[in-house]
Structure formats: C-alpha cells, structure tokens
Chains A and B, each alone.
Chain A
Amino acid sequence: MDVVLLSRLQFALTIAFHYIFPPLTIGISVVMVYLEAQHLRTGDPLYEKAAKFWTSIFALNFAIGVASGIVMEFQFGTNWAAYSRFVGDVFGSALAAEGIFAFFLESGFLALLVFGWDRVSAKMHLFATTMVCLGSIFSSIWIVVANSWQQTPAGHHIVQMVREGQPLFIDGEPVLRAEIVDFWALVFNPSTVQRLVHVWIGAFIMGTFFVMSISAWYLLKGKHEEFAKKSFSGALIFATIASLAALVSGHSQANNVYQYQPAKLAAFEGHFQTGRGDMSLFGLPDEEAEKIHFNIAVPGGLSFLIHWDFEQPVVGLDRFRPEDRPPVFITYASYHIMIGLGMAFIALTLLAALMYWRGTLYQTRWLLWIFVFAVLGPLFANQLGWVSAEVGRQPWIVHPPVEWTGDGDVVVGPEGVVVYDEDLALRTEDAVSRSVNAPQVLGSLIGFGLIYLFLLLAWLYVLDRKIGKGPEPIGEAPEGDAGGLLQAVIGRVAHDASEQAEGGR
C-alpha cells in the first residue's frame, strides 16, 4: 500500500475515533447547563444530583476527547507536511485560534466543573459549566471553519512564496502557497455557517439520545425513576426539535454543496448523467457502468429539491473527468444511510413525544428498549455525515473553484468536462509528507488501531459501571444496582421473546 492511502486511512481512523467524543461532550454540556440552571432556579436537589451524574460521564468522555484530539492537530504536520506548507498561513490560523479561544477556556473551567463542587459557590459552578459548554462550542466553530475552508476556500489568494525578498523557486519550479487576504471572508467562507449549524444539530441529537438511552434503561429497570423521567423528557424535547431541524439544515446544505462542489453532490445522489435528477432512495451505485443497480428512485426528485422543478437538469458526474470524481459508492452509501437515520430520528422522537403527551410513554416498554439502543443511530449518523463530506471532497484536499454559466450548467472545457484551475487547489495525493515512508505509516496506523480499540473497550467498561452505579452520591448507592449496558445487551438476548410480547400489548 502507498503512503497516501495509508495516511488517509490513519486520518480516517483517528478522526472517526475522536469524533465519537466531541458531539457527546457538546450535547451533554448543554444538558448540564440546563440542569444546573434549573437547580439554582428551583432549589430542587434532584437537579443537582442529575447535574453531578452527567458531569461525571461528561468528564470521562472529555478526557478521551482530549487525548484523541491532540493526535488530530499533530497529524497535519506528521502525515500531511506538503499540505501544511501549502495552507499553513490560512488553515493554521484557525487551529491556533481554537487553542487560544476554545481549549484554554474549556480545560480551565473543566477543573471547576469536575472537581470544584465543594470549592466554589453554586453560581460560580454554573458559570464554570457554561464556560466549558461555550468552550466546546467555540472549538467546533474554529474546526468547522478550517474544514469548510478546504471545501469552499475563500478569503485567500494563491501566491508564490517570497524568500529574502525574492520569489522562491525550487528546482526551477515556483513554490506556491495560500495566504490570507481577508480573515473574515475566510472565517465566513460560503459553507461555514451551514455546516456549523448541521454539526451542532448533530451534536445535540447525539447528546440527547445518549441521555435518553441511559434514562430509558433506568426506567426499564425501575431505578432512579424520578431522575430518569426528568432527564428523558428534557432530552426528548431537544431531540425532537433537533431531529426536525437536521432535515431543514441538511436540505439547505445540499443546495450549497451543489453550488460549490457539484461533483460531490452528484456522488451523494449517484447522479451519473447530467439531466433530470431522480432522487435515488435505495440502490447500489456502480462507477464502472455509471448506473445504480436495484435503484428505487423518485423521478425528478433531485431536480425538485435543487430547483423546485421536477424537470430542470442537474449536473451529473459526466461533467467531470474520471480523475476529478470522488469515489461514488462510499459517498452515496454514507450519505444515504445518514439520511435514513435522520428520518428514523424524526419518526422516533415524534412518536415518543406523542406518547409523552398522552401520558403513556413511560409504560411503553418496547419503545424505551428502542431508545436504549437508539444512541447508536446518532453515533453512526454523525460519523457517516463526515464520511460523505470528506470522501465526497476527493480527489481534493483543497477544493478548486467551480464556475457556472448563466443557465444553470457548469462551465466546461472543449471536451465537455470541467477543467479545474489546479493552481488554486491541492490534490490529496500531493499533500502527504515526503520524508515519511509507507512502513512508518503502516506501523503508526496499527499502533493507533490497537490503542484505540483498547481505549474504546476501557471507555465502555468504565461507562457501563458508572451507569450501573447511577446518579446517587457515591457511598449511598445500593449494592448490586441496576447493572450497566453490557448487562442490557446480554439480558436483551435472553428476554427478547418476552419483550416482544410486551411490546404487542
């Protein structure tokens, strides 16, 4: 295997593992702020107990988020040195701003949040929790700014490097790099705001489903019921709103992708031939044959979503040279599964909200069982959303600009395909470190794989015990309490038949 593929695999592995934690921490931190504020407002000690419980789970997630996050920042330099040289002036600024504005805020107040319950007043503690929440949100802002700049670059120009007052040539070739022209245009590049909103919504869905999963488990076991009901109903409101909002935000984002990265949208939809865009609901795209097998599609659906007109043509993959197209299968599959999951979240939260309104939710055991495991849905949806965004950006690490004609088609060259200005972009294959070889990356890839597998297991084990212990202050928890999710999984198999019978009632 070559160093490019291995480096991509390593980046994919490390970012996918890391990205289990940030949406969880963002989502849970919002819940903690809400609970502590409620405690201050009402004085009900149950809120404080709940806040302390979610804080201890938050801290566990946060620690692994920090540990796996530092890998991300280093990896641009270790594996993507050519990329770093090309974009450091632009991209590095966002990362540095993240450090100064987000990480210090987050990690500083985290100390008070986790260890400071007895050291500072309740008001100061709420302030610290709010700061941690803000810190994690600031962090998401800068990192999405940086990534969105790769997707829809703006606020910069590509110029020849200057060294000692002279333009720099190495072996007769001019050395180019991106430099900032307009910082705010870089920050608010054409896709930042939409993508950021979608990332936040994804984090809220993740956090609320996580809270609902554990709460549903307690309700099913008849433990900590009052606490679980408070957590569940609060989370359900947020989850329902967020699930609906994800649909709206996803739709507007798809239009943005079409405008700036039409090849990516075509890959999302498996849209090979320019023309009326059908919306494929299910199928197996085949890049060789340039068609989707077993396709079930809404005729004209894609045209309608983009143009509000079922007949208007949509640019397809045939407008792009094969070497300029993203891999279709992974992009199509991840995008479609994400949307399918998103639809399921809407159905599930609306159903639960309806039952809550009718007062039957907490008696409906089969639905609570679904919620225990439904947390995996947002986990995968968040991951797959990023897979489709990042694989769909290929073969570029910095996407080139796309020009449109007045009548809604892309500007093409004499051969009928888009001719990108490659000086304004960077291909992923040109971005890797020259001084690193394949065996080194293979070694580190295996190392990360083993460490992360081990961490994942340790995390699940400790999380399981925390859930088993429940929200009581340590020391008061009765022995042999509810047991954790591991037990749920084991118990689930044994009780499957009886649960189904119960669900039928």
Chain B
Amino acid sequence: MTGTLKTPSANSRGLTPRQAQREPAWVRYLLIGIVLLILTVLIVVPVTNIFVQALGHGWSAYTHAFFAPAPPPAPDHLTRAQALVQRKLAHTYESAAHNREAIATTLFVAVLVVPLNTLFGIAAAWLLTKFPLRFRSVALTLIDLPFSISPVIAGMVFVLLFGLQGWLGAWATNVRIGRPAFDIAAAFPYVQLAWVPATGIIFNWPGIVLATCFVTFPFVARELIPLMEAQGTEEEQAAVTLGANGWQLFRRVTLVNIKWGLLYGIILCNARAMGEFGAVNVVSGNVIGKNGTIPIRIEQLFSAENNLSGAFALATLLAGLALLTLLLKSMLEWRTRQSTRKVQDA
C-alpha cells in the first residue's frame, strides 16, 4: 500500500490519506460478509419468521387472534364432530378475548410506568448534573442497578416484600385496588370501558407496575445524564441572572435543550416497559386471563395453549413496536447529535 503511494502515478490517481489508511479489499469484504451473516442469522431470519408464522395461515386467521367471532348457539344434540368444532370455536373466541385483555393491560401499565420514569429520570439527571452532589457516584451506580440485576430477581424482591409471607404481606394481600379496563371488540367500533375490581399488590396490576418501573427506571436518566453533563450549567446560570424563576428556567432553557434526548429515553423506556417478561412473569402469577401483559400472554399461548399462530400473531405487535422504536431511535439519535454539535459550537 505505502509502496504504491510513494510513486508519482499513485498521486496522479488522486489517492487521499484516507484511502491510504484503508485495509485491502479482501479484508474489507470478509469483515462486511461476517457482519451481514451474523445480522441475518440473529436478526433478519427470526424477525421475518415471526411475520411469516403469524400470517402463514392467512389474514383472517391472523385477525382471529384478536377478533374471533362468537360461536353460534349450540343445538341440543351435537355429533361428536360438531361438538369438537363448537369447542374449538369457543376456545378461539375466549383466547382472542384474553389476547385483547393482555394488550389492554400492557397499555395500561405503560401509561403509568413511562410518565413516572420520565419524571424520575429528569429529576435524577437534573440533580446529578446541575448540582455538586457528595454521593454522586453512589447515586449513579444505584440508577444503573436495574441493568445489572436479573429481572426475575427484581420480581422476586417485590414478591418477598408484598407477597403472602412478605414483610408487608398482611396488608398487601388484602388491599382492594381495582383498575379500569377497556375492550375494543366487545362493542366495536366503540371502546367498552369497565372497572375491574381486584385485591392485592402481587398477582395484581400494582405488582406489574412496580416491577416494570424498577426494570425500566434507568432508561430516561441514563439518556439525559451525559447530554446534560455536556451542556453544563452556564445557560442555566445565565437564565438565573436574567431573572428566570425555577420553572421558567426548566421550561425555557433546560427542557428545550434536552428534548430530543428525553424523547429517545422515553421511547426506549416504553419499548422495555411493554416488552418486559421476567419481572412481570414473577409478580403477575402467570394465570391465564388474569393480569397478563403481551409477553406473558405470548408465553401462555405458546406453552399452555399450544396455540403457535396466536403466539406469533401477538408477537408481531411486539416486533412491530421494536421496529418502530428502532426507526424513531435512529431519527432521534440524529437529532441529538445535531444538538450536541450545537453545544460544541456555541
């Protein structure tokens, strides 16, 4: 490489120093090939498989996973074969209702968890970057804790705390705490709202919210801390000397500077909140038709009901969410880079 660069003919061909640093062609193609192979085996094939399996039995089979027709009223005398068909129809109908319920639960949990962790993340990042704090490194480690703990352990912690034998078990297993539920199929095209009475923290939605909160709480904070650190406190100081109060300072200066990073953190937090399995599995009790989120329901369809096409149909929702998240993520990463570049310029 260097030998050819020294000759005048190489210079006349316009080789730049950048080209001089390049690896030989076969090394480049080998590396690119290996990466493509790994991506195909680990990502492209499995994701494609989800959609192929879910849609393999046709579009109506796919939609039946969510909206199955109610079985017709059964005549008094059924042949064995008719009885089998009848049972299958009833089962599909019930299964679709459970699937919708899982979607509703997932949305309900995400609606509670994501705003909570957004608030927490902003507060933590604000505290850790704008003020000199004595226990800064300890706090940073604590924020990272959910990343390093197995989600199953995280779930267990709440069971040990609020479960029947837990420290707060006597109170936590008897507290009445219902929740709103909605179903879009029962009164289509309207949404049917209902209040679902329930008891207890564990094996009930508060347990799922707690466990999901725990697992997803680093996302927003982790996204904001480096960004806010890079931006420093000078603009805030300027705003204070110009007469801004705390809220004006936050809304007009800090929030505007972090908005893209914040949105990115929220999207990651949401993706994880909807997709969390381990911790939710422990606290939800994994009872069919009770308090399952989408990942829990997928596992039930797959292992307990042996309903592979249903499992894959539900999985397309999570895969779709993941693809959408990736798309938004790369768009936001681009915007965040732009605003960090502005920091370095300004």
Real binding pair: no
